[in-house]
C-alpha cells in the first residue's frame, strides 16, 4: 500500500507547482491526494507544517533525481557514475530538463522559496534544505578540483557552491517563467561551472576569496 | 500635485512587497494610494495591466538608485562617478542594502518575477525589464574590461551579465527570506564579479585587495 503521508506531499508539490502556494487549499489537496481533510490535519501540524514538509520532500526528491546513476546529461549510460567535474555538471544540469517531474519540482521549490519572504515559518526548513544542497555541491567541487592537485580550502568551496546554487535558482526562475529558453539556461549554467572551476583550479585566488567571503 | 498614476504604482509596489502579489486587492490598493477604485481601473487595463506596469515601475526605480552619483557603497561622496569595475560593483551591490526602499523594491520584483511562472501575462514586461538590466550590466562589464585592452565580444559580455543578474536574483531571494545574511550576500556577489572579470581577462588578481577593502 502506498504511504498516505507521501501521497499527500506528492499532491501538495503538484498543486503548488500548478497554482502557487496561495492556490493550495486543503479541500482541493484532499481531492488531489485521494484522502480526507482529517488525514491531512492528522499528518501535518497545520498549514505551516504542511508547507515545511513539502519543502523538505521536494529537496529530497531533487537530490534523488540529480544523484541518479544515469540521466539525459549523462553520456555514459549504465556505466559507473562519472567522477569530479562530470558529476558536478550532471548534478546541476539535471535541474534544467523539460520533463514534468523536474519542472514540477523546480516550480514548487521556487514558489515555496518565494513565499518564505512573507512566511517566516518556512525559513527553518528552507535553510536546512539549502544548506544540505550547498554542502553536496561543495563536495562535488572538491572532487572536481582534487584531481588538479590544487588544495582549496573548505570555505572557498562552500562560497563557490553557494554562488552556483543561487545562480541555478535565479536561472531556474527565468526558465520557468518562460523568459529564458531551456538550452540557454543550461549553457549559462555550464559556463558558470567552468568559470568557478577555473578560478578554483588555478589556485591563485584562494586568499582573495577567503577575505571577501569572511567579511 | 503628485502624479496619481505614480502614486498608485508606488502603493502597488509597497503592498506587493508586504503581502505578495496575491495579497494585492484593488480595494486596499485604493486606500493605500489614497485614490478611488475607479481611478485605478481608469489608469490600468485590469489586474494584469496593473501588475505589468508595477513591474516596469520597479525596474525603472532600481535603475535610478543603482545609477545614482552617490550611495552607501560609494566612499567618494560628490566626486565624479567611478569608472569601469567600481561602477559595476556599485551598481550590483546597491541591490543589497538594508534600507526600506531597496528591500521593498527587491521584494516586489522577486514576487512579481515568481508569479510570472503562473501568470503568462506578466512575461512580456518581465522580459523587457530583464533585457534592459542585462544590457546595462553588459555595458558596465565592457567598461570594466576595456581598460585592460582585452577585446571581449558582445555575446560573451551578455552571457556574463546574464549570469551576474540571475545570481543577484538568487542571492536576493535568499537574503529577503532571511536565510542569507546581508553581508554574506554582498561578499558572494563581489566574488562573483571578480570571478567573471578574471575569466574576461580583466586582471583581477592585481585588483583583488582593493575589492575587499573598498566596499
Instruction: Write the DSSP symbol of residue A83.
Output: P
At A71, the pLDDT band (50, 70, 90 cuts) reads very low
* Whole-number Cα distances in Å, B37 to B10, B42, B79, B98: 15, 9, 46, 33
Interface check for B188 against chain A (CB to CB < 8 A): the answer is: yes
- Whether residue A188 and residue B130 make contact (CB cut-off 8 A), yes or no, is no
Sign of CA dihedral B5, B9, B14, B18: positive
Q: Where do the structural domains in chain B lie, given as residue ranges?
A: 4-214
- Whether residue A163 and residue B114 make contact (CB cut-off 8 A), yes or no, is no
Q: Is B140 left (phi over 0), alpha (psi -120 to 50) or beta?
A: alpha
Interface check for B165 against chain A (CB to CB < 8 A): the answer is: yes
Place of cell 528552507: A126
Whole-number pLDDT of residue B79: 54
Sign of CA dihedral A115, A181, B119, B103: positive
Q: Which residue has the higher pLDDT, A72 or A164?
A: A164
Query: What is the nearest CA distance from B195 to chain A, expressed in angstroms?
Result: 7
A183-189 contacts at long range (C-beta below 8 A, 24 or more positions apart): A185/A96, A186/A93, A186/A96, A187/B159, A188/B159, A188/B162, A188/B163, A188/B166, A189/A92, A189/A93, A189/A96
* CB A126, CB A55: distance < 8 Å: yes
A23 CB neighbours in chain B (<8 A) are: 118
**What is the C-alpha separation between A77 and A57, in angstroms, rounded?**
27
Least confident piece of the model among A114-118, B150-154, B200-204: B200-204
Classify each residue of B1-33 as buried b or exposed e, where b means 16 or more C-beta atoms within 10 Å of its C-beta: eeebbeebbbbbbbbbbeebbbebeeeebbebb
**What is the C-alpha separation between A63 and A105, in angstroms, rounded?**
11
The CATH-assigned architecture of domain B4-214 is: Orthogonal Bundle (1.10)
Whole-number pLDDT of residue B202: 54
Mean predicted confidence (pLDDT) in A118-124? 88
Q: Is A122 left (phi over 0), alpha (psi -120 to 50) or beta?
A: alpha
At A167, the pLDDT band (50, 70, 90 cuts) reads very high
B168 CB neighbours in chain A (<8 A) are: 170
DSSP of chain B:
---HHHHHHHHHHHHHHHH-GGG--HHHHHHHHTS-HHHHHHHSSHHHHHHHHHHHHHHHHHHHHHHSS--TT-SSTTSPPPPTHHHHHHHHHTTS--SHHHHHHHHHHHHHHHHTTT-GGGHHHHHHHHHHHHHHHHHHHHHHHHTTT----HHHHHHHHHHHHHHHHHHHHHHHTTSS-HHHHHHHHHHHHHHHHHHTT--HHHHHHHHHHH-
Whole-number pLDDT of residue B152: 84
User: Predicted ipTM?
Assistant: 0.84
Interface check for A166 against chain B (CB to CB < 8 A): the answer is: yes
Whole-number pLDDT of residue B66: 72
Within 24-63 of A, beta carbons closer than 8 Å to B belong to none
At A149, the pLDDT band (50, 70, 90 cuts) reads low
Interface check for B158 against chain A (CB to CB < 8 A): the answer is: no
Angle subtended at Cα A106 by Cα A134 and Cα A6, rounded to the nearest 5 degrees: 95
Q: Which residue has the higher pLDDT, A65 or A68?
A: A65
A179 CB neighbours in chain B (<8 A) are: 116, 123, 126-127, 130
* Whole-number Cα distances in Å, A165 to A13, A65, A131, B37, B148: 21, 16, 10, 42, 31
* Whole-number Cα distances in Å, B87 to A72, A146, B32, B196, B214: 41, 36, 36, 15, 12
* CB A125, CB A56: distance < 8 Å: yes
Whole-number pLDDT of residue B88: 94
Interface check for A174 against chain B (CB to CB < 8 A): the answer is: yes
B16 CB neighbours in chain A (<8 A) are: none
**What is the C-alpha separation between A76 and A90, in angstroms, rounded?**
11
Interface check for A97 against chain B (CB to CB < 8 A): the answer is: no
* CB B10, CB A108: distance < 8 Å: no
Query: Which residue in the set B122, B166, B176 is minimally distant from A171, CB to CB?
Result: B166
Mean predicted confidence (pLDDT) in B80-98? 85
Query: What is the nearest CA distance from B60 to chain A, expressed in angstroms?
Result: 19
B22 CB neighbours in chain A (<8 A) are: 20, 22
- Whether residue B170 and residue A167 make contact (CB cut-off 8 A), yes or no, is yes
pLDDT tens for each residue of A39-58:
999 999 888 889 999 999 99
Name the CA radius of gyration of chain A, rounded.
19
A107 CB neighbours in chain B (<8 A) are: 117
* CB B109, CB B62: distance < 8 Å: yes
**What is the C-alpha separation between A91 and A153, in angstroms, rounded?**
22
Whole-number pLDDT of residue B77: 47
* CB B135, CB B161: distance < 8 Å: yes
Q: Which residue has the higher pLDDT, B211 or A190?
A: A190
Whole-number pLDDT of residue A79: 54
- Whether residue B116 and residue A179 make contact (CB cut-off 8 A), yes or no, is yes
- Whether residue B212 and residue A213 make contact (CB cut-off 8 A), yes or no, is no
**Helix (H, G, I), strand (E, B), or coil: what is residue A47?**
helix
Instruction: Write the DSSP symbol of residue A99.
Output: S
Whole-number pLDDT of residue A199: 87
B195 CB neighbours in chain A (<8 A) are: 163, 195-196, 199
Amino acid at each position: 500500500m502506498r504511504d498516505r503521508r507521501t501521497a499527500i506531499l506528492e499532491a501538495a508539490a503538484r498543486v503548488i507547482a500548478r497554482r502557487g502556494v496561495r492556490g493550495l487549499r486543503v479541500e482541493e489537496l484532499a481531492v488531489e491526494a485521494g484522502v480526507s481533510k482529517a488525514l491531512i490535519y492528522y499528518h501535518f501540524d497545520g498549514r505551516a507544517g504542511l508547507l515545511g514538509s513539502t519543502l523538505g520532500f521536494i529537496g529530497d526528491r531533487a537530490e534523488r533525481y540529480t544523484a541518479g546513476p544515469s540521466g539525459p546529461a549523462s553520456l555514459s549510460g549504465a556505466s559507473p557514475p562519472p567522477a569530479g567535474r562530470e558529476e558536478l555538471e550532471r548534478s546541476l544540469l539535471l535541474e534544467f530538463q523539460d520533463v514534468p517531474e523536474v519542472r514540477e519540482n523546480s516550480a514548487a521549490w521556487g514558489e515555496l522559496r518565494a513565499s518564505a519572504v512573507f512566511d517566516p515559518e518556512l525559513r527553518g526548513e528552507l535553510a536546512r534544505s539549502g544548506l544540505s544542497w550547498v554542502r553536496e555541491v561543495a563536495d562535488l567541487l572538491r572532487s572536481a578540483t582534487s584531481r588538479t592537485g590544487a588544495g582549496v580550502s573548505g570555505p572557498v568551496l562552500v562560497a563557490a557552491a553557494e554562488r552556483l546554487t543561487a545562480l541555478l535558482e535565479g536561472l531556474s526562475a527565468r526558465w520557468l517563467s518562460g523568459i529564458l529558453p531551456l538550452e540557454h539556461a543550461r549553457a549559462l549554467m555550464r559556463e558558470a561551472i567552468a568559470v568557478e572551476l577555473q578560478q578554483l583550479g588555478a589556485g591563485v585566488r584562494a586568499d582573495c576569496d577567503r577575505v571577501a567571503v569572511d567579511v
